Structure 1
Amino acid sequence: MNSGEETNLHPGQGLAGRHPSHAASLPQALAKAGEALIQAQNEDGHWRWELEADCTIPAEYILMMHFTDEVDEALQAKLATYIRRRQCPEHGGWPLYSGGHFDVSCSVKAYYALKLVGDDADSPHMARVREAILANGGAAKANVFTRILLAQYNQIPWRAIPVVPAEIVRFPDWFFFSLNKVAYWSRTVMVPLSVLYSLRSKARNPTGTGVRELFTVAPEKERDYFPIWSWRSRIFFWFERIVARLEPLLPRSFRMESVRRASRWYIERLNGEDGLGAIFPAMVYAYEGLIELGYSPDHPYRVQAGRALRHLVAEHGDEAYPEPCVSPVWDTALAARTLQETGREDAFTAAQRGLDWLATRQIRETEGDWKDGNPDLAPGGWPFQYGNAFYPDLDDTAAVANSLHAMDHDGRYQEAVARALQWVRGMQSRNGGFGAFDRDNTYHYLNDIPFADHGALLDPPTSDVTARCVAFLGKAGGPESRPALERAVAFLKDAQEPSGPWFGRWGTNYIYGTWSVLEGLAQADWDMREGWIQKAVAWLKGVQQPDGGWGEGNGTYFQPEKAGQGAASTPFQTAWAVLALLAAGEGEIPEIRKGVDFLLRNQTADGLWTDPQFTAPGFPRVFHLKYRGYNNYFPLQALAHYRRHRQGLGAW
């Protein structure tokens, strides 16, 4: 796996509007940004901004169309344009995030997609990426998911990928591996993938296009497909290879019954036009699996699965990209909270409309996978997406319910908040923390199985999600939530890095984690003068940049020793830092004033902010995201909170 960080830019490079002739005053900036945020609201009250990933996703969409022989030529052309325009001029390939280093897996998929589209393999842009791939060991060094795709396209033998048998749906919970032991995203990907693997699915590939030129050794002769990264991974590797040799001995009737069970499992969770797990990789495998199982093009399952994928595509002029998922609940919760902070009457009205929309999205009936191990717990969470009833999200639930509680002046949200409190408390892990979707998902040895070279098979408790739950429990929980709150705070104490910050699992990176924790503690009315908290404050002050902003690169997921550094200042990270310092009760200090000035200087003509940097990991070091809403609501929230502080009003 390549390590790296963003290309170094001088402070201020890459931001539109970074050097205006004069800074707007605070009231003017708040008015412009508030109006822009209100204007972005949809008619039914919710907000949603696009969620962008690396070029793996558009490449996979093209490859899926050729797998199924259902090629939309117009869409394919737009996806290819998007991919070409994001090829890195420095290294010739594609990175995992803007400014990142070469990634072999992303580059192999992008190259293959462009070749399928019709790009000449000898054209300069294709030759450059091919040279870069070969210089980095060739396609044999790509990750498991890329090798699975290559096996489906008959470019490598099936022995080059780990065994992913449909029998995994039969494994009991007492076994070292079972579906309940891995994260929801792993479950929803692995089960349809196990169907494809067990049937040895083969891409239609109507043009017969291949990429054997990307291998340094002929794929049939290659013996080094599986990386070994620990003593445990070596043991699992040999165990998996033994299973691979024994697999052909399985009776066909047993294998086909396993395939039927696996298909039933994921068809039950197809989730209509929101898609399996409401995430792109699971939806692709589900759609391909339905085709391999023989479902006709007009079958409702296949129609729904196809539409779910098409709904993810964002088109802009002559280019397009699929979103890895959509984020309306998260965006609406954060936008509504931001407008609550501004104090404007029209902003409160807009926030109320957003919260009314959110109240209707609470999951009150569906008992999802989280029910295993929680038989007496009633549903009460929210999803991240429009619809994902099997997989409510603790992060979203805490954020939404906290906002509902803050605006519940007439009791309209009382039942929803009570349900959410009960569900959140019930999802607390034994160590006091909270994961994003599951409780006690801490079987860390599973990240050493050959399939898990991405290192993100699990959903263990994290500081950022736990901090959101701390805020909610502290604000709305009452005395009955105090034990859960204290256990969660103890988890945060233990999770703190020696130098003071917290790791950001769901936002980049230590600045995000530290903001999440400090704000969560402040909302829970914790004593912010405690030494461990002040250590985090000192760290945050110490990583402020000379221009007054804060900026941290996604490269810190590879190089944690550079925590809080590695990128030019960004509006969204500067906002997190300002909010964190205000939450810590720092008052009118130079660091906050400089951060506010940075935000005022860099507000764009439309009243909002912009920045090219990716804002969060989907899976750290493997898959990164750009939440386009983060530069719209977080800077406004920081400015509004700062003004409330100056007026002596405190936080909302």
Structure 2
Amino acid sequence: MSKNSKTPLASPLGSTDLTRWHLLPVPDEDQAVWTYDSSSERTLGDQSFQSKYWLSRHPKSPALPDPEGSPLQAAKNGFEFYKKLQMPDGHWSGEFSGPLFLTPGMVIACYITKTPLAEEIRIELVRRLANDQRQGQNARDRGWGLHAAGKSTVFGTVLNYVACRLLGVDVEQPLMVRARATLHALGGATGLPTWGKVWLALLGVYDWEGVNPVPPELWLLPEMIPLHPWRWWVHSRQVYLPISYLCGKRFRAASDPTLDSLREELYTQPYDSINWPSCRNLIAKEDLYSPRHPIANGLFWILGYWEKICPSPIRNMGLNRAHELCKMEDENTDFNDLAPVNKMLNLIVCWDRYGPESKEFQKHQLKLKNFLWMNKDGMGVSATNGSQLWDLGFITQALVESGLAKTDDPSTQDSVIRSLQWIDRCQMLENPKHFRSAYRHQTKGAWPFSTKSQSYTVSDCTAEALKSVLCLQEELSYTPKLISKERLCLALDVILSLQNPNGGFASYELVRGPSWLEYLSPAEIFGKTMIEVNYPECTTACLTAMSLFSRYYPDYRGPEISRARQGAISFIRSVQRDDGSWYGSWGVCFTYATMFALESLSLNNETYKNSPSVKKACRFLLDRQMDDGGWGESFKSCEQGVYIHHQSSQVFNTAWAVLALLAAKYPEPEPIKRGCRLIISRQTADGQWPDGAIEGVFNKTTSVTYPHYKFAWSIHALGKAHKQFPDVKW
């Protein structure tokens, strides 16, 4: 749900009836999408509880038994409420948002390709953009940031301003006037980072001469060369693939009065007077997180020269190769693509190559709805087509490990069984249509982050799903055995295939490129984007999955699993910081990674009692426990690389810290009791927890919301604390 607690603003384009929005399952896609019932008869009927909850208009539920300080009862109450949010097909739908450059990407792509957006969608997109705009008196901070928790940047302000204008907001609307003043105070659109320059160049409101070239001929290089894009991190690879095609063609939308006006609105000097080549390396200080290395500037100079001399036959070969790979990506993912940035760019490529009447382009259009999410503040584009598998893995493990799943309650059993059925359907049992040719890692046996059709293997998602299946099928008497040993072994094979030589695990693939490729990164607004990186979070997930698998199937690849486990533990030890912590790359931040790392070390029988590393990690956490007993970590920790307290304790940070201390077998219950009391104190009488601060992050600088974390991790921490300290008076 939105992290914005103020009263939502209205849309300048009008309003929709919130009672007509419905979150509905999509047959055969294992996800749900928002649909507006515009019929006078209200053919979709009454809103579901799930729809009302995400729109913040759900009725107050009956009060549940007072936990009276009991963590077990509080965990039960939490799941009693949480069950109501489960979709009929077994998964939990939810918002996965935060980056403020996603909605503009869709709006720009739809504008260029003349893809119509329904009036109710346009209204709600603008309403969300208005609610995401920064408020206050600082003239330099009344635009939009890189993400929902960030201050105004040129990138965020330009793209969201453009999106509003393309959706029909008048240039003199107050939110446009405020944003334009901020943009001009920040120096105008010439200070955009590379991604922003590309989006404006596609619209024809920025000249391609002001963009550092990304030639499609890079895809023609021999694959043995370290610079070849197949060695890049998958998100960078799949974003720069369509950019290379569009940049190579100097693609530009047809001009119209709105675009002509934008050329005047976005700059602090007349458009025709701008020296575009001098803008290539101009990045506003508000946007610059990773200054470009001189080596990268040298490479871009070479590529700029190449643009002037590239023979047409070579350029056509490069364009054809880039398009071929875009086509493979579309077909491999059923036109969902890896994520919305490359999805929207691929949409433009498909339109340019095949035309608006082609079946390929129409398939692309149909999938746009999978990325739209509605909340009380309006509609926006999600960071993927959801986080369904990821969220489901955590709640199912929490239920089993807390003991809540071991029950005779029919509604809980039904919820658990439907969860298992959804995980069963989500496992990928074949490699993609275009496997090696599209530079993909194997998918046979893996699970994705979101849905099966999205089709990308993710190391920790596969691991968490494997653990969930083992917990649900092996430790509960009432669940059907849906996933065979053969399929579990396939998942284990995927995990083993993803371990890197240093023992660590990255996210989607093996580390393919040398570390010096980071010097060439053109993504000035992010950190660590060029190659895969080993993460303590991913490594722990894979280590714990291998350990649990071996408990039930000790004869399958036993020696290899043993070696892999030892390598993973060695990696975890090697990346511990001197202060005892681990840096988290996917959650906020040190509490998140330290929880995972201590879980890893516990599997090697390393505890507070016998391990200096574990003792140091516990001390790190205990030194940061707040006066109210909780933990609260700011998103700024991710950006700055040091622990920074949030202004208040957070339920999810507290749950992570409690689970970390429990994994370490910290002998004194008092800090754990205080943490549990904080979690219980934030719970409402009907069992839910209100929204808190931002939970997630990627690439060091961009926040993402995980609204299910406050349920899954709180239930897990409370239930596990009760199991570990059954005789403690809470």
TM-score by length of 1: 0.89
Aligned-pair CA distance for 1:515: 1.0
Structure 1: which 5+ residue stretches go unaligned? 1-5, 8-14
Cα distance in 1 for partners of 2:721, 2:673 equals 9
Aligned-pair CA distance for 1:171: 1.9
- Say if 1:86 and 1:612 are closer, same or farther in 2 by CA, change over 3 A: farther
Between 1:104-113 and 1:129-138, the stretch displaced more is: 129-138
Letter in 1 for 2:303: V
Q: Which residue of 2 is the match for residue 434 of structure 1?
A: 505
Question: Over residues 382-415 of structure 1, what are the superposed CA-to-partner deviations in whole Å (9 max), with x where a residue is unaligned?
Answer: 1112135652000101111122223333865422
Letter in 2 for 1:162: N
Letter in 1 for 2:570: A
Letter in 2 for 1:141: G
Does the CA contact (< 8 Å) of 1:370 and 1:391 recur in 2?
A: no
Answer yes or no: is 1:603 the counterpart of 2:658: no
Answer yes or no: is 1:226 the counterpart of 2:281: yes
Counterparts in 2 of 1:389-468, with a 5 A limit?
Answer: 391-409=456-474, 412-449=483-520, 451-453=522-524, 454-455=526-527, 456-468=529-541
Q: Which residue of 2 is the match for residue 82 of structure 1?
A: 128
Answer yes or no: is 1:198 the counterpart of 2:254: no
Between 1:372-381 and 1:240-249, the stretch displaced more is: 372-381
Cα distance in 2 for partners of 1:367, 1:59 equals 30
Does the CA contact (< 8 Å) of 2:388 and 2:450 recur in 1?
A: yes
Q: Which residue of 1 is the match for residue 26 of structure 2?
A: none
Aligned-pair CA distance for 1:526: 4.1
Aligned-pair CA distance for 1:547: 1.7
Cα distance in 1 for partners of 2:290, 2:174 equals 39
- Say if 1:49 and 1:324 are closer, same or farther in 2 by CA, change over 3 A: same
Aligned-pair CA distance for 1:297: 2.7
Q: Which residue of 2 is the match for residue 589 of structure 1?
A: 669
Counterparts in 2 of 1:57-72, with a 5 A limit?
Answer: 57-72=102-117
Q: Which residue of 2 is the match for residue 172 of structure 1?
A: 222
Answer yes or no: is 1:303 the counterpart of 2:362: yes
Cα distance in 2 for partners of 1:378, 1:92 equals 44
- Say if 1:372 and 1:511 are closer, same or farther in 2 by CA, change over 3 A: farther
Question: Over residues 338-359 of structure 1, what are the superposed CA-to-partner deviations in whole Å (9 max), with x where a residue is unaligned?
Answer: 2213424244553343123213
Question: Over residues 229-258 of structure 1, what are the superposed CA-to-partner deviations in whole Å (9 max), with x where a residue is unaligned?
Answer: 999821221222232222233232332232
Aligned-pair CA distance for 1:276: 4.6
Cα distance in 1 for partners of 2:315, 2:614 equals 55
Q: Which residue of 2 is the match for residue 34 of structure 1?
A: 79
Q: Which residue of 2 is the match for residue 10 of structure 1?
A: none
Q: Which residue of 2 is the match for residue 551 of structure 1?
A: 632
Aligned-pair CA distance for 1:117: 3.0
- Say if 1:535 and 1:180 are closer, same or farther in 2 by CA, change over 3 A: same
Does the CA contact (< 8 Å) of 2:446 and 2:462 recur in 1?
A: yes
Cα distance in 1 for partners of 2:169, 2:218 equals 40
Cα distance in 1 for partners of 2:109, 2:446 equals 33
Aligned-pair CA distance for 1:436: 0.5
Cα distance in 2 for partners of 1:186, 1:368 equals 22
Between 1:498-507 and 1:58-67, the stretch displaced more is: 58-67
Task: Give secondary structure in 1 for the equivalent of 2:330.
Answer: coil
Q: Which residue of 1 is the match for residue 262 of structure 2?
A: 210
Cα distance in 2 for partners of 1:611, 1:299 equals 43
Q: Which residue of 1 is the match for residue 582 of structure 2?
A: 502
TM-score by length of 2: 0.80
Letter in 2 for 1:490: S
Cα distance in 1 for partners of 2:264, 2:669 equals 60
Aligned-pair CA distance for 1:556: 1.5
Between 1:47-56 and 1:510-519, the stretch displaced more is: 47-56
Cα distance in 2 for partners of 1:93, 1:231 equals 23
Aligned-pair CA distance for 1:286: 0.7
Letter in 2 for 1:601: S
Aligned-pair CA distance for 1:372: 8.4
Cα distance in 2 for partners of 1:316, 1:273 equals 27
Q: Which residue of 1 is the match for residue 648 of structure 2?
A: 568
Letter in 2 for 1:536: A
Cα distance in 2 for partners of 1:53, 1:298 equals 33
Aligned-pair CA distance for 1:639: 0.9
Cα distance in 2 for partners of 1:462, 1:187 equals 19
Cα distance in 2 for partners of 1:24, 1:79 equals 43
Between 1:452-461 and 1:540-549, the stretch displaced more is: 452-461
Does the CA contact (< 8 Å) of 1:162 and 1:450 recur in 2?
A: no
Aligned-pair CA distance for 1:56: 2.0
Does the CA contact (< 8 Å) of 1:575 and 1:638 recur in 2?
A: yes
Question: Over residues 194-230 of structure 1, what are the superposed CA-to-partner deviations in whole Å (9 max), with x where a residue is unaligned?
Answer: 2211121112464334144433455632524316999
- Say if 1:151 and 1:431 are closer, same or farther in 2 by CA, change over 3 A: same
Counterpart selection for 1:521 from 579, 601, 607: 601
Q: Which residue of 2 is the match for residue 357 of structure 1?
A: 422
Cα distance in 1 for partners of 2:344, 2:255 equals 16
Task: Give secondary structure in 2 for the equivalent of 1:126.
Answer: helix
Task: Give secondary structure in 1 for the equivalent of 2:534.
Answer: coil
- Say if 1:225 and 1:296 are closer, same or farther in 2 by CA, change over 3 A: closer
Answer yes or no: is 1:624 the counterpart of 2:703: yes
Q: Which residue of 1 is the match for residue 348 of structure 2?
A: 288
Answer yes or no: is 1:235 the counterpart of 2:295: yes
Between 1:594-603 and 1:31-40, the stretch displaced more is: 31-40
Counterpart selection for 2:89 from 36, 39, 44: 44
Does the CA contact (< 8 Å) of 1:475 and 1:524 recur in 2?
A: no
Counterpart selection for 1:313 from 372, 378, 387: 372
Answer yes or no: is 1:489 the counterpart of 2:569: yes
Cα distance in 2 for partners of 1:512, 1:334 equals 14
Percent identical residues: 24
- Say if 1:624 and 1:240 are closer, same or farther in 2 by CA, change over 3 A: same
Counterpart selection for 1:381 from 437, 446, 451: 446
Does the CA contact (< 8 Å) of 2:292 and 2:521 recur in 1?
A: no
Counterpart selection for 1:100 from 144, 150, 154: 150
Question: Over residues 86-113 of structure 1, what are the superposed CA-to-partner deviations in whole Å (9 max), with x where a residue is unaligned?
Answer: 2111321223444432222111111112
Letter in 2 for 1:299: S
Alignment root-mean-square deviation, CA: 3.1
Aligned-pair CA distance for 1:605: 4.2
Does the CA contact (< 8 Å) of 1:436 and 1:465 recur in 2?
A: yes
Counterpart selection for 2:210 from 136, 157, 160: 160
Q: Which residue of 2 is the match for residue 12 of structure 1?
A: none
Does the CA contact (< 8 Å) of 2:698 and 2:704 recur in 1?
A: yes
Does the CA contact (< 8 Å) of 2:591 and 2:656 recur in 1?
A: yes
Between 1:199-208 and 1:85-94, the stretch displaced more is: 199-208
Aligned-pair CA distance for 1:503: 0.9
Task: Give secondary structure in 1 for the equivalent of 2:502.
Answer: coil
Task: Give secondary structure in 2 for the equivalent of 1:627.
Answer: coil
Cα distance in 2 for partners of 1:443, 1:261 equals 24
Counterpart selection for 1:537 from 610, 614, 618: 618
Letter in 1 for 2:75: L
Structure 2: which 5+ residue stretches go unaligned? 5-55, 61-65, 284-288, 475-479
Task: Give secondary structure in 1 for the equivalent of 2:329.
Answer: coil
Letter in 1 for 2:198: I
- Say if 1:430 and 1:99 are closer, same or farther in 2 by CA, change over 3 A: same
Answer yes or no: is 1:474 the counterpart of 2:547: yes
Task: Give secondary structure in 2 for the equivalent of 1:566.
Answer: strand
Answer yes or no: is 1:142 the counterpart of 2:192: yes
- Say if 1:444 and 1:267 are closer, same or farther in 2 by CA, change over 3 A: same
Name the structure, 1 or 2, with higher relative contact order (CA <8 Å, separation 6+). 1
Between 1:604-613 and 1:458-467, the stretch displaced more is: 604-613
Cα distance in 2 for partners of 1:450, 1:30 equals 45
Question: Over residues 312-352 of structure 1, what are the superposed CA-to-partner deviations in whole Å (9 max), with x where a residue is unaligned?
Answer: 11234782111121111111111211221342424455334
Letter in 1 for 2:617: A
Cα distance in 1 for partners of 2:343, 2:694 equals 23
